[in-house]
Amino acid sequence: MATKPPTNAISFGYPAPRNPSLNGDLFSSSLALIDFLGKSGLLIAPAKPEDELINLVAKRYGVSPLQAKGIYRAIAGFGEKDMH
């Protein structure tokens, strides 16, 4: 059975940020939101990073890929079973 996302997840009192120079379309609004999050000190990261990224980070910092993946999980707040 398919589920629908909650309709009350975002208050209607707070519209998505828009970039007036880009006509306020959905794509522009999405980019403005990502920019806003970055300026707020937040970032968007994948729940499961690509193996190539894990391997590059492991090599760069002299740890095993398993250690690098564990560090990523710890920083992102995911446990072993949470990552798909």
Digit-by-digit pLDDT tens for the chain (84 residues) are 455 655 555 555 556 555 555 566 788 888 888 888 888 888 788 888 899 999 999 999 999 999 999 998 888 887 666 555
Whether residue 32 lies inside any domain: the answer is no
pLDDT attached to residue 69: 92
Whether residue 10 lies inside any domain: the answer is no
d(CA 48, CA 73): 9
Structural domain tally of the chain? 1
| Cα 3 to Cα 6, 7, 56, distances in angstroms | 9, 12, 37
| Beta carbons within 10 angstroms of residue 69's beta carbon | 22
pLDDT attached to residue 31: 85
pLDDT attached to residue 54: 95
Whether residue 71 lies inside any domain: the answer is yes
The set of residues, in sequence order, having a beta carbon less than 8 Å from that of 69 and lying 6+ positions away, is 49, 54
Whether residue 19 lies inside any domain: the answer is no
